[in-house]
Amino acid sequence: MTKFEQMIETGIATWSGIVPPSELARRLEAELAVTISAFEAMRGQLRFEDEPSSFEAALQAAKQ
């Protein structure tokens, strides 16, 4: 079990009083660690647009 998985299980046990019930729960926990790592790797690379997009602006652009 990785440190991250152990931290997740400890947090769940502390706050909810439960432990992962099955091997599936443990696999999903591992997948969560991979997903978080992927987002962390992108830190500093993503930027917000200069102007916030809106549904109305997109609708008007599609009409033109």
pTM above 0.75, yes or no: no
Per-residue pLDDT of the chain (64 residues; tens, 9 = 90+): 788 888 888 888 888 887 766 777 778 888 888 999 999 998 888 776 656 568 887 788 888 7
Instruction: Tell me what pLDDT residue 8 has.
Output: 84
Instruction: Tell me what pLDDT residue 6 has.
Output: 86
Instruction: Tell me what pLDDT residue 38 has.
Output: 92
Distance separating alpha carbons of residues 8 and 11, to the nearest angstrom = 5
Distance separating alpha carbons of residues 10 and 19, to the nearest angstrom = 8
Instruction: Tell me what pLDDT residue 51 has.
Output: 62
